[in-house]
Amino acid sequence: MLLIKTASLKAACLLASKKDVRYYLNGVNIRSTAQGVIVESTNGNAAFQDMADLSPGASALDFTIPIAIAEKLSKHKGATLAFTQLVDGSYECNEFKFKSIDGNFPTIDRVMPTAGQLDGLGTFDFDFELLAICQKAMRIATGKVDFFRLTTQTSGGALMHRETEQYPRCVAMPLNLNKVYKDN
What's the pLDDT tens digit per position in 42-56?
998 899 999 988 777
**Can you give the pLDDT at residue 155?**
63
Q: In this predicted model, what pLDDT tens digit does every residue of 143-155 receive, in sequence order?
A: 988 888 787 766 6
Q: Where are the domains of the chain?
A: 2-108, 111-183
CATH of domain 2-108: 3.10.150.10
Buried b (16+ CB within 10 A) or exposed e, 115-127: eeebeeeeeeebe
Instruction: Map residue 68 onto helix, strand or coil.
Output: helix
**In a 10 Å sphere around its CB, with 0-12 CB exposed, 13-18 middle and 19+ buried, how is residue 98 labelled?**
buried
Output the pLDDT for position 7.
95
Q: Of 160, 162, 141, which Cα lies nearest the Cα of 6?
A: 141
